[in-house]
Amino acid sequence: MDRFRPGSTQPVGGLLPASIPPDPNRPTRRRRVSVESVAEFGGSALAALAVIWLIFAVAGVDAPFGLFVSWFLTFVLFYGVLCWRSHGLLGMKTRLATVLIYSGALVALTGLVAVILDVTFKGGSVALARFPHFFYADMTQLGGNAPVTAVGVGPAIVGTVEQVGLAVLFTVPIAILTATYLVSASGIFARAVASVVDAMTGSPAIIAGLFVYLFWVAPRHTTGKSGFAAALALSVMMLPMATRAAQEVIAVVPGSLREAALALGAPEWRVMLRVVLPTARSGLANAVILAIARVTGETAPILFDVGGNVKYNWNPFSGQQDNLAFRIYQLFDQPNPHAVRDAWGTGFVLVLVVFILFLLARFIGASTPGKRRVRLPIRRLTRSDGA
């Protein structure tokens, strides 16, 4: 076996060549964008825009969206041919893949930013008028000429927090236990459970609300609608999402950790409880919080179960309760323009709550797996203690 000198890539025996000529068809990844790449990208974009604009002008077609789509396709064609002639086939594939990936991300981000900005501009002024009145007042003063400073979404915020909190208490233990079982087992029952989870993931959201309505709300007639019923509907919808996310997180835990714990004589349940789950703690928290943020703004599961209430109801187990998503649905359904205005303000509050949950998920997900955020005091042994 050849030995290498420290700091050198050449072997001591000299059996390998001093330098290997680079393959011109092999793409190289650069950390910085070169002037040549910018010129190729910009030149292709300008050339494609000139050709498409000329064709549309001669044909007399006035279609901005069609112009944009045609320009993008022509740009991809021009840029691909230019990269193929300049960098080879593999270089062309790499650059086209980069362009398509960034373009798809930009389209998705544009839609998300457009929705958030629209809700912020239309609802921010409503929610922040005489701050923080809109965040703690109720809807008892809602009327045809009620000013924005006379109403608020305090009951809806309380109801949403309590309903989502109950749904988390019901769902998280079941989801983690189910994900652990699906990762550890491989029998017929495990495949049946995985099929049920997949079916629940693809079912419409309103099915969860109808399920709870038929088995809980309808038998109790007027006393069936409550925050607890809404929490049950949210749990049915949250369970498959949290289970799948937790399953993926637990599955990526290195198998060497389990094998080492089993080799030391630990039983399977203790390995899962003391080794696997603590290692995947940050990923599990991230999955749970993302599932919470997903169901917080859902209207269909709670449409038949929560009932709505313009006043505060701190008890989710008795009486109808309000919800942010349900309040938006009711306000937009009214012909009163003031109600529509308040609905935009409620939507801004809901977006703010979901945004806070996503930030919390990113903060927890960024932590190192298995890392303790609170250092426990450990007493070290001294020579006198050992004696």
pLDDT in tens, 32-82: 778 888 888 999 999 999 999 999 888 888 888 888 999 999 999 999 999
Has residue 190 got a pLDDT over 50? yes
Position with higher pLDDT, 16 vs 159: 159
Q: Give the residue-averaged pLDDT of 235-247.
A: 90
> Which residues, listed in sequence order, are joined to residue 307 by a DSSP beta bridge?
321
Q: Confidence band (pLDDT; 50, 70, 90) for 263?
A: confident
3-state SS class at 4 = strand
Q: Confidence band (pLDDT; 50, 70, 90) for 140?
A: confident
What the chain holds in terms of domains, given with CATH numbers, is: 35-114 (no CATH), 136-365 (1.10.3720.10)
Has residue 16 got a pLDDT over 60? no
pLDDT digits (tens, 9 = 90+) for 194-214: 888 888 888 888 888 899 999
| pLDDT number for residue 378 | 44
Position with higher pLDDT, 164 vs 144: 164
Q: Which two tokens stand for residue 384?
A: 């006198």
Residues contacting 243, CB < 8 A, separation 6+? 174, 175, 178, 179, 182, 197
Q: Give the residue-averaged pLDDT of 344-350.
A: 91
% of the chain exceeding 90 in pLDDT: 28
For the chain, what is the radius of gyration of the CA atoms?
29
DSSP 261: H
Looking at every residue in the chain, the average pLDDT score rounds to 82
Has residue 271 got a pLDDT over 70? yes
Contact 163, 336 (CB under 8 A): no
| pLDDT number for residue 80 | 92
pLDDT digits (tens, 9 = 90+) for 374-384: 444 444 445 44
% of the chain exceeding 70 in pLDDT: 86
Contact 156, 324 (CB under 8 A): yes
Rounded Cα–Cα distance for residues 103 and 121 (Å): 26
Structure-token match 């969206």, residue found: 65
Sign of the C-alpha dihedral computed for residues 27, 32, 33 and 34 taken in this order: negative
> Which residues, listed in sequence order, are joined to residue 321 by a DSSP beta bridge?
307
Rounded Cα–Cα distance for residues 47 and 45 (Å): 6
Residues contacting 373, CB < 8 A, separation 6+? 367
Distance of CA 20 to the CA centre of its chain: 45
Has residue 338 got a pLDDT over 50? yes
What is the CB-side half-sphere exposure of residue 121 using CA atoms within 13 A?
Answer: 6
Cα 324-327-203 angle, rounded to 5 deg: 70
3-state SS class at 235 = helix
Q: Confidence band (pLDDT; 50, 70, 90) for 13?
A: very low
* Cis previous bond, 132, omega within 30: yes
Cα 278-279-281 angle, rounded to 5 deg: 60
pLDDT digits (tens, 9 = 90+) for 354-372: 888 778 777 776 655 545 4
List the one residue out of 260, 218, 233 whose CA is nearest residue 323.
Answer: 233
| pLDDT number for residue 387 | 44
CB burial of residue 352 (10 Å; 0-12, 13-18, 19+): middle
> What secondary structure, in 3-state letters, does 328-375 show?
HHHHHCCCCHHHHHHHHHHHHHHHHHHHHHHHHHHHHHCCCCCCCCCC
Q: Give the residue-averaged pLDDT of 117-139.
A: 88
Position with higher pLDDT, 112 vs 20: 112
| pLDDT number for residue 231 | 93
- Helix (H) or strand (E) holding 170, with range, is helix 154-184
Rounded Cα–Cα distance for residues 20 and 138 (Å): 75
Query: Would the pTM of this model clear 0.75, i.e. be above it?
Result: no
Residues in the chain: 387
Phi and psi at residue 270, to the nearest 5°: -70, -35
Q: Which amino acid is at 323?
A: N
